[in-house]
Structures are given as C-alpha cells and as structure tokens.
Amino acid sequence: MAQAQKRTAEATWSGSLADGKGTITKSGSGAFSNLPVTWNARTVSSEGMTSPEELIAAALASCFSMALSHSLAQAGNAPAKLEVSATTILTMDAGPKVDSIELNVRGTVDGIDQAAFAKAAEDASQGCPVSTALKGNVKISVNAELAS
C-alpha cells in the first residue's frame, strides 16, 4: 500500500482585508515561493499577483490532466498531448465564493472519436483528487475537444 503524502504551503498576511497584503511564502517542495496576493488583486485586477482561486485552477488543471491521461492510457489510447485550462469563477453575491470552475481540454489522441474523448474527460473531471475535494461545493463543467 502506498504511503500517504503530505504537501505544505505557507502564507503570511499583514493589515486589513481591503488594505493589507499577503505572500504565499513557500511550498514544501520549493517549487514556488514569495507569491504576492492582495484583496484587490484577487477581486479586481491581478496586477501580476496570484490568488487562492488561481492556485485552485492550477491544481485542478494539473490533476485533471493526469487523471485523463491515465484513463485514456488504461483504455489503450494514451494521449500524445493534452492541453488543459481551468478557470475559477469567484462570485460576490452573498460574500466571496468560488461558484464554479470551467475546465477546457484539447487533446491529441489516436484511436478514439470526439464522443469517447468527451466521455473520458467528463469521467476524469469527477475522479481526480482535487475535483473530489471540491465535489459538492463547486460546480465543475468540462469542454473537451479532440484535435484532428
């Protein structure tokens, strides 16, 4: 049985929500550090800064691409290439909430048709660990396009 994996990230914040600023100071892996974030950058214009929502989008895009690649390969059609984008939708209606995420995937996969690719993409969107963590809280939609 595989050992459970732990992943860590750290952040600091100074000041009020509206006027303060924060930094995602580091990740346990060292893959990223010193990523600035402010409320204005999160809700109005990114101004070269990141946001929790952007990091969720990155986590889902990478997790989904691995899940889809695996399921296609298990079915005998390993993809030559998958290009995935994830877009989080932050609404402010009843306070800030990640309402939905749009996944778009374009794949180069021999041996399957558009319908099979779309079905595999939908299944992968329901099964990757990040999407299962979001399930029940965030609507995830998938647009899958098989490259010709």
**Residue spans per domain, the chain:** 9-43, 52-146
What are the structure tokens assigned to 138, written together?
A: 């965030």
Number of CB atoms found within 10 A of residue 111's CB = 10
Backbone angles phi, psi at 84, to 5 degrees: -125, 135
Q: Please give the pLDDT value at position 94.
A: 86
The Cα 22–Cα 31 span in angstroms is 18
The matching CATH number, chosen from 3.30.300.20, 3.40.50.880, 3.40.50.720, 3.40.50.300, for 52-146 is 3.30.300.20
Instruction: Kindly report the length of the chain.
Output: 148
The Cα 83–Cα 90 span in angstroms is 23
| Residue ranges of the chain whose pLDDT lies below 70 | 1
Which amino acid, residue 62? S
The Cα 112–Cα 88 span in angstroms is 29
The Cα 67–Cα 18 span in angstroms is 38
Backbone angles phi, psi at 101, to 5 degrees: -135, 130
